[in-house]
Every structure is written in C-alpha cells, then in structure tokens.
Amino acid sequence: MATLLKSEKLEVSEEQHIVTVRQAVRRMSVEIKLSLVDQTKIITAASELARNLLIYGGGGEVVLELLREGVRQGVRVHFADEGPGIENIELALRDGYTSGGGMGLGLGGAKRLVNEFDLVSAPGKGTHITITRWK
Amino acid sequence: MALSKINEVIRQRQSLLTEWVKGQLDSGVLRSDLISEVELRRESTAFLEVLSEALDKDPSLSFRQPAYRPVLNFLEELSRSRGKKGFSPSETAIFVFSLKQPLFTALKALHIKDAEGLANAVWEVTEFLDNLGLHTIDTYLVGREEVIRGQQADMLELSTPVVQLWEGIVALPLIGTLDSNRTSIVMETLLQVIVQTRSEIAIIDITGVPTVDTQVAQHLLKTVAAARLMGADCIISGIRPQIAQTMVHLQIDLGNVITKATMAEALKTAMNRSGLVVMRRAVPSSPTGLGTSALS
Amino acid sequence: MDRIPILTMGHFLLVTIQVDMHDQLALTLQDDLTNKITSTLAKGVLIDISSLEIVDSFIGRMLGNISSMARVLGAGSVVVGMQPAVAITLVELGLSLTGVYTALDVEKGMQLLRRQIDADFYHLTTDGNFVEI
C-alpha cells in the first residue's frame, strides 16, 4: 500500500490556473528527484488534463499527492470536475478524437506520459482522472 | 508489573552490554572480517542508549508509537550500512535477536519465584524484539533493492555509447534488444550528445540488434522523431540482409528515414549532406612514401 | 498585458520564449507575430524555445500555426533549441509538429532560414555559381 507523504489542493477555474498546476506538479516532481524527462512528462500530462478540466469540465479541483510505496516514491495528481462527463471513454482516449476543436491528443497523450492512468466518468456525473508517475 | 522491570533491565546498561556483545561475537554468524569488536561495541552501546531514551518517553514497548521512531531509525541506518558492507540478512538481524538472551537472563534474576511475571515479561520482550528484527530485515531488503536498481540503471547507460564521428556527425551503435525502457535511455543519451556537440546528423547503427520487429521499429522511429524536433536528422545503418527481409515481410515502414546497409555508407551520406568531400590523395612515388611496397 | 517581445534582426524576426506561457500569452504572440511580419516584411521568423521547460499540445499547436501563418505571408520559420526532455515528451504525446522546421540553436536556425530564402531568390547556373536574379 502506498503511504501519503504530502498533499496539496488547487482550484482550476480560469486559464491562469493551468500554469499554477504545472508549477505545483514541477515542485513535487523535483522533491522526489524525478529525472528531467519524467518531470517533463508528468508536467505535460498535468497541463493537458488541467486544460481539459477547464474547457470541457467547466473548471474543477486538482489534488496533488506525494506517495511512497516500498522503495519507490511517486507523484499522483487527481483531476475532478462536475461537468457533462464522457459518454464513450474508449473513443475519448483515441488519438485524433476531439469534441472541442483541439488536436485530440489530450487524453490518450496524457495516458502515454504517465505510469498509471485512471479515468472514471459518466454522462452527467462529471469526470475524475488520476495520473501517477513513479520514480 | 512486567514492563517496568524490562525498562529497569535495559537501563542497567553496562552488564547487559557486556553479555550482549559477547553473545554477538559467539553467535557464529558475525562477520569479524567485516566489522571490528570495537565498532560492534560502539554500535551496541549507541543502540541501548537510543532504546532506553525511547523507554523513558513511552514504556509501552509498542514499537509503532512515535517515541520508538528513533529506535527504528537507528536500525534502518544499521541495516543499510551492513547491507552495503556485504552482510547477509541473518548476519544483520542477529544484532537484534542476540539481545534476547542477555535480556532473558536479566529478567530471570528479577523474577525469582514469580513464574507468571517472568513468562509475561519474556513474552513482551520476545514480541518487541521480533518486531524490531523483522523491521531490520525489511529495511535490509529495501537497501538491497536500491542497489540492484542502481546497477540496472548503470548497465543500461553503459550499453549506449554515443560517439562523435566528425564535426557535426554523431553515431550510436546499438547492441542487444531494444525494449521501451532501453529506448528511453537511448533517446535521452543521443539527444543530449546532439545538443552538446551541436550535431545535425546522427547515425543509429543497428548491426548489433538481433531482430527488428514492429515494436523495435516503433522505438527507432520515436528516437528519429525526437531528434528531428530538436533540429537533427537521423540515418539508420547496419541493416543486415535477413533484417531487411523480415522488415519487408512484416511490412515495417520506417517512413522517410534514410537507411543504409553499413555505417560506412551512412557516414558517406552524412558527410555529403554536411557539404564535406573525402578525397584520395595522390600516392607519392618516392621510396620514403608510405604507399610504396617494401618488396619492390 | 503581458507580451512576449519580438526582436527585428535584419530580414528576420526573433522571438525568445522564456516564461511558463499561459494560453492567452501564446495566442497574443501569434497575433503580434503575424502583424509584425506584415509590417516589417520580414523574410523569416526564428522562435527560440531553449528556455521552455514544457511544450504541451496547446503550445505545440501554436508553433504549428505560426509556421503555417508565416508561410502564407511569404516568410520562412524555424523553431530552435528544443530541450531533449521536451522533444521526448512531445513524441510520446504524439505530436510531431509536421511542417515545422527545427534547428539546434539560433545560429543554425539562421543558416537554415538563409538557405530557404536563397532557394527563392537565387538559382543555380550551369557552371555551379549562384547569381542573383
């Protein structure tokens, strides 16, 4: 079982907050000494998901966690919104699929950048995404 | 009360320490080649000090309580250092378990004609020391795992040498299979060298890669794409005849990446692209010239 | 309002992105650059992203847009100095920035732009010398 060493909650309700999320994720990744490439990967994934949260979810909450599990440490980020939710998750994860005029790389791309990716969503129930990158 | 007596025993450190150190030396599993008696005595003294301090704060012997944190820290440090020195798990854990006997002896002396009290005290001490011992072994394993992970990373790095062939041209001779873990290290090393040497062309030589399947091709293409994003072009060389055949059978498409049969061919292409020309110098006919045969 | 400065260097425009760019700043830069290309009749745009620590799909799209817009306006463009970690992440993300020219640093980017412009303005004569048209 992973133990929680630290957590931080951020609100995402305007575009500036995407930058705040990126900076918070960077701080935590540096703290557990993730390699530069791994840092860049999770920050980029968080940036994509924070923007999704704002654009498709109408804003929401981001919770960052610093974890320890055995020898490894990791950064976990939860994204939660009360927006319209995702109808077809499989389709939403596919590259090139977009409902908002973007490039359609957000979800599938973010998934490839992290070690663990968990998505829970249903129409009208909002979307909850959790990503984790282990050292 | 059993607990207070245990605390009493541990506080009378001197006699306990002598017995304990003797027990450790006689245990038969102590590595006298790795640790001196002086050092062992120093470690044992320090441990009893930390332990009695913890008992002063919280005499419950519940090792999860915050007061016992320094005790656990001490053991963690000990097992890490012993692990590094080359102690085995049992050689490490004997440090804690060997404390049982001197403690029991001392408890026995305090509980003359009180069989129940002695049984309780022994049980308490056994449980406490067992937990500490297990914690020591756990930490020992964690330390070992860290060493293994470090070595794995070192090995991966060693297996990806990037060499500069010419000003602006670097080469990466790949040997062995290319999985996703290895690819990320290959990519990182290559891109860093590209930046350092300001090279616009990188030759990836796959002569030493046993098979090229869709997966490997995918990894190669990713590396090429990342280099291109930074402003460098890649040439893939060392494609052996049978690999060329499998690639065609598997319909592997390397897109618009330039491929060459040998590294020499790739170097020629790279030089040509960089505007460099290699010329054969006219062989001088004088007898001192290197080009003349010694037999003539 | 925040703005990323655009420097003029002869026929070229140089943009150095040094901040953690929020989306609006990226959009403003796109506007400013297209205006400046038109007003200065610049022949090429150099975008130095060597201090940029991440490029997500939004910034990636902006880089693609700038290069397409410059092309429409008759100017070349080069993105220079992308960090290795950023390049690896972009590839993993699935963004290959097709159609965007890249170079290792400003100097090499400048050479690339010059070659692009030379190809437009000069042609190779039969004896191999360049002559101006």
Task: Give the model confidence (pLDDT) of C73-83 as tens digits.
Answer: 999 999 999 99
Asked, for residue B104, whether it belongs to a domain, the answer is yes
User: Quick check: B229 and C87 CB within 8 A?
Assistant: yes
- Contact status of A71 with chain B (Cβ, < 8 Å): yes
Q: Is the pLDDT of residue A96 over 70?
A: no
What is the mean predicted confidence (pLDDT) over B48-76? Answer: 86
Confidence band (pLDDT; 50, 70, 90) for A102?
A: low
Distance CA B219, CA B256 (A): 15
Per-residue pLDDT band for A88 (boundaries 50, 70, 90) equals confident
A34, A37, A112, best to mutate vs chain B, most B CBs in 10 Å: A37
The domain that holds A96 is classified in CATH as 3.30.565.10
Residue of C nearest to B184 (CA): C88
Distance of alpha carbon B80 from its chain centroid, rounded?
A: 14
If pLDDT is split at 50, 70 and 90, which confidence band does B198 have? very high
Q: Which chains touch C (3 or more CB pairs under 8 A)?
A: A, B
User: What is the per-residue pLDDT for B282?
Assistant: 83
> B173 and B241: one domain?
yes
List the structure tokens of B256: 């618009």
Q: Is the pLDDT of residue A127 over 80?
A: yes
Residue ranges of domains in chain C: 6-132
The dihedral through the CA atoms of B15, B111, B64, B66 has a sign that is negative
Please determine, for residue A99, whether its predicted confidence score (pLDDT) is greater than 70: no
Probe site for chain A from B183, B184, B191, B223 (most A CB atoms < 10 A): B184
- The residues that bridge with B217 in the sheet, in sequence order, are none
Backbone angles phi, psi at B277, to 5 degrees: -125, 135
**Which tokens belong to A63?**
């919770």
Contacts of B43 (CB under 8 A, 6+ apart): B78, B95
Shared domain for B90 and B222, answered yes or no, is no
pLDDT band, residue B103 (cuts 50/70/90)? confident
Count of all residues that appear for chain A in the document:
135
Is the C-alpha dihedral spanning B226, C16, C64, C119 positive or negative?
A: negative
* Phi, psi (rounded to 5 degrees) for C101: -80, 145
* Total number of domains constituting chain B: 2
- Name the neighbours of B, counting chains with at least 3 Cβ pairs within 8 A: A, C
- To the nearest whole angstrom, how far is the Cα of B168 from the nearest Cα of chain A? 24
CATH number for the domain harbouring residue B259 = 3.30.750.24
Q: Which of A71-75, B209-213, C12-16, C23-27 has the lowest average pLDDT?
A: B209-213
Is residue B8 scored above 60 in pLDDT? yes
- The answer to whether residues B23 and B78 belong to one domain is yes
Residue that the structure tokens 């005595």 belong to: B41
Residues A3, A8, A9, A11, CA torsion sign: negative
Rounded distance between C-alpha atoms, residue B236 and residue B91, angstroms: 52
Q: Provide the CATH topology of domain C6-132.
A: Transcription Regulator spoIIAA (3.30.750)
Q: What tokens were used for A117?
A: 């990716």
Angle between helices B115-158 and B2-11 (to 10 degrees): 60
Round the average pLDDT of chain B to a whole number and report it. 84
Distance from the C54 Cα atom to the nearest Cα atom in chain A, whole angstroms: 6
- Which position has the higher pLDDT, B275 or B155? B275
Which range, B20-29, B266-275, C113-122, is most confident? B266-275
Element (H, E) at C66: helix C57-72
Q: What is the pLDDT of residue B164?
A: 93
Nearest alpha-carbon partner for C57 in A111, B230, A41, A103:
A103
Return contacts of A83-92, CB within 8 angstroms, 24+ apart.
A83/A56, A83/A57, A83/A58, A83/A126, A83/A127, A84/A56, A84/A57, A84/A123, A84/A124, A85/A121, A85/A122, A85/A123, A85/A124, A85/A125, A85/A126, A85/A127, A86/A119, A86/A121, A86/A122, A86/A123, A86/A127, A87/A123, A89/A119, A89/A121
Q: Å from B73 to nearest chain A CA?
A: 16
Q: Which two structure tokens, joined as six digits, stand for C83?
A: 């960090």
Amino acid at A57: G
Chain A interface includes C22 (CB < 8 A): yes
Work out the average pLDDT over A3-27. 93
Q: What is the pLDDT of residue B290?
A: 55
C-alpha–C-alpha distance, residues B170 and C104, integer Å: 14
Helical spans, DSSP H, in chain B: 2-11, 13-26, 37-57, 69-85, 89-97, 100-110, 115-158, 180-197, 214-230, 241-249, 263-273
Rg for chain A (alpha carbons), in Å? Answer: 14
Q: What integer is the mean pLDDT of B268-285?
A: 86
Q: Does residue B222 fall inside a structural domain?
A: yes
* B205: enclosing H helix or E strand: strand B201-208
Question: Higher model confidence: residue A27 or residue B248?
Answer: A27
% of chain C at pLDDT higher than 90: 65
Last residue of a domain, one of B156, B191, B221: B156
Q: Answer yes or no: is pLDDT of A75 > 50.
A: yes
pLDDT for position B40? 87
CB < 8 Å to B187, chain C: 84, 88
Mean pLDDT of A116-133: 92
Task: Count Cβ neighbours within 10 Å for each residue of B91-118 and write b for 16 or more, e otherwise.
Answer: bbbbbbbbbbebbbebbeeebeeeeebb
User: Tell me, what amino acid is at B238?
Assistant: G
Q: Are residues B143 and B264 both part of a single domain? A: no
Structure tokens at A71: 């020898």
What phi and psi values does residue B134 have, to the nearest 5 degrees?
Answer: -65, -40
* Total count of residues recorded for chain B: 296
Domain that holds residue B63: 2-156
Task: Assess whether B269 and B181 both reside in one domain.
Answer: yes
Q: What is the nearest CA distance from C90 to chain B, expressed in angstroms?
A: 8
Average pLDDT over residues B263-274: 94
pLDDT at position B296 is 47
Kind plus residue range of the DSSP H or E element containing C86: helix C84-93
Measuring CA to CA, which residue among C129, B145, B73 is closest to residue A72? B145
Chosen domain end from B110, B141, B156: B156
Please check whether residues B181 and B38 belong to one and the same domain: no
Provide the domain limits for residue A15: 3-134
* CA separation for the pair B54, A80 (Å, rounded): 44
Banded model confidence at residue A131, pLDDT cuts 50, 70, 90: very high
CATH of residue B116's domain is 1.10.490
pLDDT reported for residue C128: 45
The C-alpha atoms of residue B193 and residue B188 are separated, in whole angstroms, by 9
Radius of gyration of chain C (CA): 16
Placement of tokens 């006997």 in the chain = B101
Pairing assessment for the beta strands B233-237 and B201-208 based on DSSP bridges: parallel
Contact C53 A18 (CB under 8 A): no
Q: Tell me, what's the pLDDT at C121?
A: 57
DSSP letters for chain A: -PEEEEEEEEEE-STHHHHHHHHHHHHHHHHTT--HHHHHHHHHHHHHHHHHHHHTTSSEEEEEEEEEETTEEEEEEEEEE-SS--S-HHHHHSTT--SSSS-S-HHHHHHHTSSEEEEEE-TTS-EEEEEEEE-
ipTM reported for the complex, 2 dp: 0.86
Average pLDDT score over residue span C86-106: 92
The predicted structure's pLDDT at residue B192:
93
Would you give the DSSP letter of residue B123? H
Q: Phi-psi category of B198—alpha, beta or left, where left has phi over 0 and alpha has psi -120 to 50?
A: left
Q: Which residues of B touch C90 (CB under 8 A)?
A: 226, 229
**pLDDT confidence of residue A92:** 82
Q: Mean per-residue pLDDT for A115-125?
A: 91
| Domain shared by B112 and B187, yes or no | no
Count of CB atoms situated within 10 Å of the CB of C106 = 19
Q: Assess whether pLDDT exceeds 60 at residue C130.
A: no
Residue with tokens 């995407």: A18
B6 plus B90 within the same structural domain: yes
B142/A37 CB distance under 8 A: no
